[in-house]
Amino acid sequence: MEIRFADCSVRYGDTVALQPLDLTLTERRIGVIGLNGSGKTTFVRAINGLVKPSRGRVTVNGLDTVEDGPAVLSKVGFIFQNPQNQLILPIVADDIALGLKSRGLATSAVAARVEAVLARFDIAHLARRRVHALSGGETQLVAMASVLVTEPDILILDEPTNQLDLKNRKRVIDTLAGLPEAAIVVSHDLSLIESFARVLLFHEGRLIADGAPVDVVKAYEAVALC
């Protein structure tokens, strides 16, 4: 996996949400931290093309997020900050199947892959449940299953433990730890990222620290407490 930002900046009108950035990411677990409004979501959305650079470019395994948008979207799965917003169909199994059906897979192949992903996440008992009646932790797991069933190479999670109680937080962390896919995780939950290979700290749209978790968390404490 290689994600490359080349002189990439992002503006929303007059707001510069991401200052010009040159960066290459190849690690299997990357954390993204920073205060509210520091540009974390903008940064990760730029990786799968949900946000377009105002200047420069972003590539994922050589594919440009603007020129090769659909190919990038199929390689980079994204779990939103509010995962309930990405569950579209009323029943869990139907929602998980949706991404596969839209890729033209045969009905029997879709059913087999849905069953496998439900088993992988240990949520087979949720298959016929209504998505809007799930708990926060269940919603997070179903959203992960819906994305991973399409077999992306990279998974991005934007604050995956934010709305969860301690039990569900542990469940999501354990599930994340077992994923063979590369993952980029935005989090205020510093214990979640402490074992990661690399952590990025954003402050006012700028990448201000990049390295081992322990060092970057120290830099975060310094900016947060001043």
Kindly tell me which of 51 and 126 has the beta carbon lying closer to ligand ADP: 51
CA distances from 164 to 36, 38, 139 (A): 18, 22, 10
What is the amino acid identity at position 87? L
Choose the contact partner of 39 out of ligand ADP, Mg ion, none; CB within 5 to 8 A by kind.
ligand ADP
Q: Which backbone phi and psi does 157 adopt, to 5 degrees?
A: -125, 125
Nearer of residues 12 and 109 to ligand ADP, judged by Cβ: 12
Binding map of Mg ion across residues 14-53, x = CB under 5 A, - = no contact? ---------------------------x------------
Q: Which does 152 bind (CB under 5 to 8 A by kind): Mg ion, ligand ADP, none?
A: none
Complex with Mg ion: residue 52 or 129, whichever CB lies closer? 52
The residue ranges that bind ligand ADP (CB under 6 A) are 12, 15, 17, 34, 36-42
Residue 187 in the binding site for Mg ion (CB under 5 A) = no
Sheet of 55-60, strand order: 15-25, 3-12, 55-60, 63-64
Q: What is residue 130's DSSP assignment? A: B
Task: Give alpha helix (H) positions in the chain.
Answer: 40-48, 69-75, 92-101, 107-120, 136-148, 166-177, 190-193, 213-224
Between residues 78 and 121, which has the closer beta carbon with respect to Mg ion?
78
**CA 43 to CA 175: how far, in whole Å?**
24
| Residues in contact with Mg ion by the rule CB under 5 A | 41
